[in-house]
Amino acid sequence: MKKLFFFALSTLCATFSAQAQIQTSAGVQYLMNTPKDMSTDFSDLSNTYFLADSIASFDTGKAVGTVKWNRYRLSPRQAFNLNGYWPVRMQMLDFPSTEYDNDPVLKIQLRFISPRCVRLTMLTTPVEPRNDDATDPMFAPEFLAKSVSGAPADAGWQPKGSDGTIAYKSDFGSIEIQRYPFRIALRDKNGRILTQSRHIIDNDSSQIKLLPFSFIKRGSDNSRSVNPVFTIAPGERIYGCGESFTKLDKVGQKVHLFVTDPQGPESDGEYKPVPFFFSNRGYGVFMHTSAPVTCDFGASYIGADRLFMADEKIDLFIFLGEPKDILDEYTDVTGKSPMLPLWTFGTWMSRITYFSQEEGLDVANKIRSNKIPCDVIHFDTGWFDVDWQCDYEFSKNRFKNPVGMLKQMEKMGFKTCLWQLPYFTPKNRYFNEIIEKGMHVKNAAGGMPYEDAVLDLSNPLTVDWYQQKIGGLIKQGVDVIKCDFGEAAPFNGVYASGKNGLYEHNLYPLRYNKALWEAVKKFTNERDKTQTTPGVIWARSAWAGSQRYPLHWGGDAATTNTGMLGDLRGGISFGLSGFSFWSHDMGGFVTASPEDIYRRWLPFGFLSSHTRAHGAPPTEPWLISQSFTDAFRESAELKYRLMPYVYAQAKDCSEHGLPMVRALFVEFPDDPGAWLVEDEYLFGSQMLVAPLLESGNSRTCYLPKGKWIDYQSGKVYEGGYQDIQAGKIPAIILVRDGSLIPHVPVAQHTGDIDWSKIEWKEYKADAPKCKGLLFKPGDTTVQTVEQ
């Protein structure tokens, strides 16, 4: 069965790759649930184009006005042997002409959220859309409560305009709207322009006639989509957009924000796109939409950030500040990751898959006999009667006493995790019930978009049914549920929310994460007679707001150096998109991991917020070699000794929207070199980790300004580029000068950690004193310790 599965998986990956080539070479227009490129709609000669021209009216006191949008079309143009098109002015032929405007005048509004955040909304229709903020799952409840309570209208922003310009200024910068030509400009507190929108007159000095800030009305159906266009400055760098596996700096790239299953972290697709980015120039943007977005960050025109949005309105949250400020502000809007239980930060042991009670308990016993610190055992796709056929019940043939097994696991210090997914094949026992009760996503005729039934999690009845199934498992003693898949919500589907897949496809992972996380939280607290235990899930897909429902892992990595690099980039990028916690499959997923790669992947895995061994067997170290078992144990013991540091840093991250796997420039925004590094990261605020991405025991590292102490050897390094030898644990692990790092004796699981035996270790070269953070189980606040 296992060989058959991996043959099928390899075939699937090969097929996906072949399909991608067919799409390019044979002219296939679209393959189901592959990323959508929204930019193509903005080069369609059948569409009508409306370009933001000027402010028609504006009430400075209310920060509300109207914009005149001039009507254009794209006109074919030949230049010798080059064919192209230019935007040219258009006089409408609409009938009756008295009923329509050639150049519509439509609403623009500014709302001031905080001294660092302003919300810009622009409509493409005179009909005011329904305000769905109160039910929008992307928004944090705290943000909505603050909005409802009536925060100060100016939030620290004061009008400072002139006759030709409308401006509002706070202590951190300003936003200006030029009346003609229409232009939105962001400035820092010193008046420097950070970015500004483009107008058609900006084309006068170039042969490239770029579409400026605009929207389209499609010839196919009169639907509208928007295209905000801003400038990109020389030397500008842009980060974020979710768990992106391509280069961290998105300038020069076209990024499709469309939830997909990319089949691994080695391509430009994303399990977890997030419509948020920020710039090294000191601003960030949250594109408040669930419709597909294609961000052309200087890919088609090096000086323009072109945001091709399928949505019919522009709704942008604009932030000012350094990376930490922007992440804090963004997660004030969409939510911060809640602090997770201590045990989640321990080792998770898994493979695809354990098929029986005996197999699971044998793994648990071998972990303990090999003295490998571990807290979680995960059963993947094989705990049902039929592999992959989710029916929420342990196989009666292979799990004779699941409740007894779960209790035995608990006595041994293990939590138990189970796999499931939200798709039901026709052979699934629940398929007919789901169809009969209308709990699936439907097509336009009320039938099935796919052969499988996809749970419609915008339907409260479906959510209740689903959560009751999960509750039955939690009541038996299960502690955490894997939230697999979620990337294939039907794009042509009709949902109980009243919306179609244009708006629900990308929202599906968020609804899925939320429904599962809340079920685990609710039923765990009922079972354990508590009220404070957060939910815990292990999710593959996500969207903006999913950080409120941790945690997530990096998908199905190849068992190669490329797979490790893709996971590393993805994890850093994910952290730059508002997510504090993240994990990945150590050694990769697809095939049995080569021992050299698995060894080098271990410290990267253990020095991530969460740590899991998972993938094609063998993942268990004792099945590989004794020396590998020793190496696995050493990396696990490293993390368990550091658990006070991990726990305190995690709490600090959850309070400020910061990632545990952290880009260097988050801590060192004034170091130009730190913005260039994408193969190293900070683990929390005080430790630097540089994985060995190729065979060998050394590598070149960039170290931010200051002194750095090798965690393993004690050697001191200066900032700048350094060739550094790895220690016994195969990674470069350095500590920032002036750090005070708490350690505890190794325990076999986090429940056995003796918190009375914390040892503080100073890492000091030039620093006059050392500082560290402390947060113990039961504490309510993070303490700063100094010595």
Q: Which of 678, 644, 632, 647 is nearest to 761 (CA)?
A: 644
Q: Which of 83, 91, 88, 153 is nearest to 118 (CA)?
A: 153
Going by the DSSP 8-state scheme, the letter that residue 131 receives in this structure is -
Residue given tokens 């801003």 in the structure block: 230
Residue 579, by phi and psi: left (phi above 0), alpha (psi -120 to 50) or beta? beta
What whole-number distance in Å separates Cα of residue 285 and Cα of residue 609? 26
How is residue 473 written in tokens?
């498992």
For residue 482, what are the CA distances in angstroms to 145, 381, 506, 512, 589? 31, 10, 19, 11, 16
Task: Note the Cα 327 to chain centre separation in Å.
Answer: 13
By the 8 A CB rule, do 711 and 687 touch?
yes
Task: Give the amino acid at 194.
Answer: L
What whole-number distance in Å separates Cα of residue 106 and Cα of residue 73? 19
By the 8 A CB rule, do 379 and 418 touch?
yes
By the 8 A CB rule, do 552 and 574 touch?
yes
Residue 657, by phi and psi: left (phi above 0), alpha (psi -120 to 50) or beta? left
Omega of the bond leading into 292 within 30 degrees of 0 (cis):
no
The full length of the chain comes to 787
Q: Which of 323, 314, 381, 384 is nearest to 353 (CA)?
A: 381
Write the CB contacts of 246 (distance below 8 Å, at least 6 apart in sequence): 253, 255, 268, 569
What whole-number distance in Å separates Cα of residue 138 and Cα of residue 339? 19
How is residue 532 written in tokens?
């404070």
Half-sphere exposure of 14 (CA within 13 A, CB side): 6
By the 8 A CB rule, do 327 and 658 touch?
yes
Task: Note the Cα 749 to chain centre separation in Å.
Answer: 29
What whole-number distance in Å separates Cα of residue 678 and Cα of residue 690? 10
Question: Which strands sit side by side in the sheet containing 165-170, from one edge to the other?
Answer: 158-159, 165-170, 173-178, 183-188, 193-196
Q: Rounded to a whole number, what is the distance in angstroms from the first to the last CA of the chain? A: 58
Biggest CA–CA distance in the chain, Å, is 84
User: What is the DSSP secondary-structure string of 22-86?
Assistant: HHHHT-----TTSPP-GGGGGG-TTSEEEEEEEEEEEETTTTEEEEEEEEEEEEEEEETTEEEEE
30-52 burial, b at 16+ Cβ within 10 Å, e below that, comes to eeebbbbebbebbeeeebbbbbb
Residues designated catalytic? 484, 487, 556
Is 135 exposed, middle or buried, given 0-12, 13-18 or 19+ CB atoms closer than 10 A?
A: exposed
How is residue 777 written in tokens?
């189980």
Q: Any bridge partners for residue 739, and if so which?
A: 763, 771
What whole-number distance in Å separates Cα of residue 231 and Cα of residue 236? 10
By the 8 A CB rule, do 430 and 439 touch?
no
What whole-number distance in Å separates Cα of residue 387 and Cα of residue 399? 14
By the 8 A CB rule, do 678 and 573 touch?
no
What whole-number distance in Å separates Cα of residue 542 and Cα of residue 33? 15
Q: Which of 518, 36, 597 is nearest to 293 (CA)?
A: 36
By the 8 A CB rule, do 552 and 582 touch?
yes
